Chains A and B, each alone.
Chain A
Amino acid sequence: MSRINLNHKHPMDAYLRTDRIPHIWCPGCGIGTVLEVFLTGLLKSGLALDKVVIVSGIGCTGRVAGYIKLDSFHTTHGRALPFATGLKLANPELKVVVFSGDGDLFSIGGNHFIHAARRNVDMTVLCVNNFTYGMTGGQAAPTTPLTARSTTSPYGNYEQPFNIPYLAAASGAVYVARWTAVHVRRLETSITEALLKKGFSLVEAISPCPTVYGRMNRQPTGLDHMKYYRENSIIKHDADPREVDIEQNGKIIVGKFVDIERPTFSDIQAQVLGKTFGAEAVATGAKRK
């Protein structure tokens, strides 16, 4: 039965810190899938990799920063976005990607999320949404569907969850898409589009957590999750973000929901400061020392 060759090279090895493998993720977890899709989407974008920086918060997805062989920052819980804002504004040449989980970005980091989207800081946020706090053992998250069980909602969740695309769109994101770990090619396309989109872009990747979330919600294997996603996802581009709520055992509406143009933080900053200091002076901005 030894069909797995551990010496076999992964096609993405050149972009991974292979000296840190094996990774910490459980069998059946979707984060590895999303990571590979991200790297594929990043390579397709044609962006200069030396200028791409990865910022993560804390949690299972937060560990992504430690596996990607680029300048990468594993910050504090919920604070990836303001850290990323500092990186981007101090050096506008950087392409800043925040790669983190639903609890990190939308619970403890929720305030930072709405403000980063409002400012339309030019960065891409990739949120792996597994509906739970995996690292700490499966507690309820602000994304946990109503009635779903978790270790802190043992009788079923009675808190209304966030609808992430709606929150992002309402806060000002210029690009919003949602896919699941089953939709690898579509997810890849959205990641490439988001990376090339000027402004604050968000891609939500719904992803299995069989070990803690699935175990408590009758999807004990990664395959159970994947089957569920395949059978229950409805692709609906341009769906009204208000109507893409996720219900326990319900349908999952996926697709590209928002793709609009809006001046970024730096665009407006240059315009406003340009009136006083001259367009030329502002364009070179942080590079002037």
Chain B
Amino acid sequence: MARKHLTGEFFMNGDIACAEGAISAGCRFFAGYPITPATEIAERMAERMPEVGGTFIQMEDEIASMAAILGASWAGAKSMTATSGPGFSLMMENIGLGIMMEAPCVVTDVQRAGPSTGLPTLVAQGDMMQARWGSHGCYSIIALSPSSAQEMYELTIRAFNLSEKYRLPVLLMADEAVAHMTEKVTIPPPEEIELYTRRKPDVPPQKYLPYLPGADLVPAMAIAGEGYGFHTTGLTHDEKGYPVMTAEEQEKLIRRLVEKIEVNKDDIIEYEEQGTEDAEVVVCSYGVSARISKFAVERARQEGIKAGMLKLVTVWPFPEGRIKRLAKKVKAFVVPEINCGQISLEVERCAGGAAKTIPVPHMGGSVHHPDTILDAIRKAAR
């Protein structure tokens, strides 16, 4: 008997939880290419897609995988790929195509240490800026960061919902530690899972303008084979979807692509706080680093330091407003992350000199030792 939707409590790793989250979200097309430490997602999808009536295909590379999920998205499927750094680099061009064509899909990047082949089996968080800016040109993106296997499950669903709602590739920026960590995952029954599906056109084909934005700046999306006869392109285009090679159209289109994220950011941005009400030092972290940070914050509190925690769930768009408000009342931000300091620059920019920003960089291969973070908190509190 084929398993459809799993419901209950499971002991599973983050990669498997991600695949199950995709299935819960309605993903029925997965294209991917083997790469450590994301391979288990493809393996799980190879097993599970046929069980739920979906399609799994192992493509010839990550470029093809990204292209295939865009095609599947236009055929009406919720689609996904999963990769790690080297594959993420290869996907960049077609992520840009997804942004320009406004094709909903989800890309999971299980981060490992780079650059290049780096440490294929070991943890890092070095792709955070690549997630933001990796494809050429100017655009906005949505990226989420899970800290547990449970969040791998839940944020994959959220990534699909956001991609369908705002019509763009949404990035799930996981890391090797979270993806390979096996822990309890609770999967609710399907009827308790809130799902969002792209808005379809409510006008006949002759009146349909594929890129006419709605009030939320997102256009309604026709899919292939339903008689709409639409055209879509990676070129700068007008509301008909036709290429227009002018500065004016570029201004209009790119502004809208950026603003559709900007005006909806209250719906998109999520973070968790702990002890920030009276905190003098706020540790701002994400992914596996947020778990270790939380431990260090609790220890600091035991020592009498007024420490708090700001865990980023949505990393892009960046919770600029929250950092700005906190900066007015705290002494310093401490930013542990497994890279040379990517998100710390963003925190520093948002703090705008009102509070100090102390990066706690770690080059990858392991997670931070809690004492390293605790030391940074102690110094910041002085």
Contact = CB atoms under 8 A, between A and B. Distances in A.
A88 B94 CA distance: 18
B225 A112 contact: no
B225 A89 contact: no
B229 A70 contact: yes
- Report the contact-size class of chain B (Cβ under 8 Å from the partner): 35 or more
B233 A111 contact: no
A83 B70 contact: yes
A234 to B, nearest CB: 35
Nearest to B77: A90
Given A65-B231, A76-B234, A50 B226 contact: yes
B345 interface: no
Given A50-B226, A71-B228, A277-B50, A90 B71 contact: yes
A276 to B, nearest CB: 7
A286 B60 contact: no
Interface residues of A, number: 45
**Chain A contact residues, majority secondary structure:** helix
Interface in A103-128: 111-112, 115
Given A65-B233, A89-B55, A286-B55, A82 B28 contact: no
B67 A86 contact: yes
Interface string B41-78: 00000000011111101011101110111111111110
Given A17-B242, A76-B67, A94-B225, A87 B50 contact: no
A89 B93 contact: no
A282 B97 CA distance: 32
A8 interface: no
B199 to A, nearest CB: 18
Contacts of B226: 50
Given A17-B242, A74-B232, A85 B94 contact: no
Most interface-central of B26, B63, B68 (chain A CB within 10 A): B68
B219 to A, nearest CB: 16
Given A90-B76, A94-B75, A76 B55 contact: no
Interface of B: 2, 26, 28-29, 31, 50-55, 57, 59-61, 63-65, 67-77, 79, 93-94, 96-97, 101, 224-235, 240, 242-243
Interface of A: 17, 19-20, 50-51, 53, 55, 65-66, 69-76, 79, 81-91, 93-94, 111-112, 115, 273, 276-277, 281-282, 284-289
23 contacts: A50-B225, A51-B225, A66-B231, A69-B229, A71-B228, A73-B74, A79-B67, A79-B93, A79-B94, A82-B59, A82-B65, A82-B67, A83-B67, A85-B64, A88-B75, A94-B224, A112-B64, A115-B59, A115-B60, A273-B50, A284-B53, A288-B52, A289-B26
Which 6 residue pairs across A and B have the least CB separation, nearest first? A86-B71, A288-B53, A86-B68, A82-B64, A90-B75, A90-B72
